[in-house]
Structures are given as structure tokens and as C-alpha cells.
Amino acid sequence: MESFLIKGGVPLHGEVTISGSKNAALPIMAATLLTEEPCVIRHVPDLSDTRFMVQILASLGATVSFEDGTLRVEARKISDYADYDLVRKMRGSVCIMGPLLGRLKKARVSLPGGCIIGARPINLHLKGFAALGAKIEITGGYISATADVLTGNSLFLGGRAGPTVLGTANIMMAATLARGVTVIESAACEPEVVDLATFLNAMGAKITGAGSPTITITGVEKLHGAEHEVIPDRIEAATFLIAAGATQGEVTLRGARAEHLRAVIDKLGEAGVGVERQGANLVARGLGALKPADITTLPYSGFPTDVQAQMMSLLALAPGTSIITERIFESRFMHVSELARLGAEIEIEGPSAIVKGGKPLSGAPVMASDLRASAALVIAGLAATGETQVNRIYHLDRGYEKMDAKLRQLGARICRVEE
């Protein structure tokens, strides 16, 4: 296994280009299965997760090439059965169910894996498929969905922690080839859902309302090939904004979209990190002493759960008490014990973390538990004095493209080593 070795205490300075969004790219890659014709997807990040999806598409029978951020897929003849050993490695792979069910009227996919950050059931996906007329069976670790015909319907996708992003994507893809009109109420409003709808419409789908809680899909008989460019990754952008503030540096983010980051930018300002728009770029700079802030994670357009861990690293440096409340996943504080190894003072009380900030952080060996926890530990290591070794960075490689190289470009002393 590989680790990051970080010699902290160096402010980040310079420019960094934000990669394409992983969470947008994965369902868009899956959506290429909806047509026999060639599709070209650009600005696809080169990550272990996108590489897994390339393998899944190929295992289903599609012809796939992926080079220099451009994905080409021709799914002329495909199977309805997804390989267990591939699907189990990545939760996002469940989004192949919608396209397979839409095009073939049958899909057999193993229950997916992914980060251990709490229960992420797919019951809402299955509820949506059933509303379209599919018969659902779960046996032997596999989910089977079959239908003689898919028929449009009205359905509610709200869950305990709010709308489901992947569930919205899955139902939307299946419904593009259903008969009649499908209306998804309490749909996820994330930019990644909007990006998928844009691609599907380019393929000939009829989707309106993406980005709002009500999405309407009028089914069509057939979809055709299309080209598309994936939106920038707002979570990667947020991570670099926070890293700039934590190290009291100044970083220009090329390609980041401020409109996707309003909640993050607002809280960074409250914590003493300046973020301003300069043309098509964002510039983040430390403004001196950091300040405490209270944060509650919420569905979009609220503060993203995927930025909670990184923000905790920043607030651990801010004198005073901050309260971070996690409302999306119940087990997303696994990074707290590792931040404590660096000197952070954090207590867990139910769904909230009480951060008593302002103590200097000092380097130590730490263990990453999931994707965003990895990023939080890297940020803490960059701000700490001495040397920090972040182990198990395979989590981080799932969602950040060449993070160590990008950080070195900004002056960070970071290298990739064998554990």
C-alpha cells in the first residue's frame, strides 16, 4: 500500500486546475449504455473509481477507450449481468442498473461496496424501479430487476437524510426509455444530477426540472449517441480552497464554479478564509487568524457532507469552539480520532463534533478511513509542524486526481511512498 509523506508548515501558493467531477462522471459513463451508438465524454477524471467503471462497461460488452480525460464508448451489444468482483468495489457502480433496465428491461447487479461512512441503502432506487413496473428480487447478494415494459409514474424519492443523488440518477436514466411521463418528487438537486440530465437530453431524452425538487421525464422510444464535457469537481475545489486557508496561503483554482460552492464559500468566509471570483477562476487566501464557525451538513444547496471532514481540519486550527453537525451519514466522524493524533481537540456528542480549536498541530502517522477523511488528514498534515504520514491513500485515489502532484505544484512538501 502507498502513503503520503508530508512535511508541513508551508503556505500553499500558485494555481491548480480542477478536474472533472467524479460524482458526475460515473452516472454519465453508465448512461452510455442506454444507446447502441458511440458516445464521447470529455473531462473525465483519471481515478480508480472511473477506471473501475471503464472495466464494468467493458465487462458488459461495450467497446471502451479512455485516454487523456476522454472516454469513448460504443455499447452496441450488452449484457444485463454485471460482474460481482467489479461492482462490489465501488458503490457508484449501482448506477448501471437504471440504464440496463431502461434499455434491456432487465438488470442483475451485485450489491455495491464503497467507503464505510454509514448505511447507504439503495431501497429508494428499488422503490423507483418498482414504480416504473419492474419486479425486484434480492438473492445471493444480487439485485435483479425485470420488466416486460416500463411505464411512467409519479414517485417520491425523499429519504431519512433527504433526497438520494444516485437514486435520482438511476430512476431518471431508466425513465428515459419508459412509456409515458415520469415525475420524480423530492429529487436530488445536486449539480451532478443536472449534468447527467444535460447529457441525457443531448442523447435525445426529454427531461425538465433537473436542479429542482421535481424532475419530469417524458419517455422516448430510442436514444442516440452524444458528446459531453463533465462539470468541474466541486468537492475537489472545496478541498483546495480549505487547504489554502489552513496553510495561510493563496491559491487560484482554474475552472472551479462558484455557483456550485456557495455554502462552502460562505462558511470559509465566516472562518476567516477569503474566496473571490476572478474571471473563470476562484482565488482563496488566508486572511490571518482563523475564526470558529458552526456547520450542519445538508442536501444541496446546503453544506456538503463530502466537505465536512476537510472543514473540521481547518476549524481545528481556529481559536475557539466550533460545532459541526452531520445530518447525512451517521458514521462520518471516523477521522476525528486520527486528527486527535495530530493534536486536534475534538469531542463527539451524538451527531455533532465539538471542535476546540487553536492548538498547534504536529505531524504523526495517521490512517485514512474513507475518501474525504483522507483529504482532511492531508490538509491537517499540510498545516502541521513536522512530518505526517497518511496511510491507506488508496481511498483518496478514488476521488482526487493526482492530488500529490497538484499540491507539489503549489509548493507543498509531499511525496508518495510505500507504507
Residues marked active site are found at: 115
- Ramachandran sector of residue 31 (left: φ over 0; alpha: ψ -120 to 50; beta: rest): alpha
Query: How does strand 295-296 pair with strand 320-325?
Result: parallel
**Are the CB atoms for 173 and 98 separated by under 8 Å?**
yes
What type of residue sits at position 246? A
Q: At what angle do helices 123-131 and 165-175 cross, to 10 degrees?
A: 20
Half-sphere exposure of 17 (CA within 13 A, CB side): 6
Q: What is the dihedral of CA 281, 208, 105, 44, to 10 degrees?
A: -10
Contact status, residue 137 vs residue 110, Cβ threshold 8 Å = no
At 407, is the secondary structure helix, strand, or coil? helix
Q: How many C-alpha atoms does 100 have within 13 Å on its Cβ side?
A: 23
Helix (H), strand (E) at residue 139:
strand 135-139
How far is it, in rounded angstroms, from Cα 309 to Cα 305?
8
Strand-pair category, 154-156 with 181-185: parallel
Strands (E), 147-218: 154-156, 158-159, 162-163, 181-185, 206-208, 214-218
DSSP assignments along 307-354, one per residue: GHHHHHHHHTTSSEEEEEE--S-TT--TTHHHHHHTT--EEEETTEEE
Closest CA to 145 of 93, 200, 107, 113: 107
Segment (H or E) for 42:
strand 39-42
Contacts of 85 (CB under 8 A, 6+ apart): none
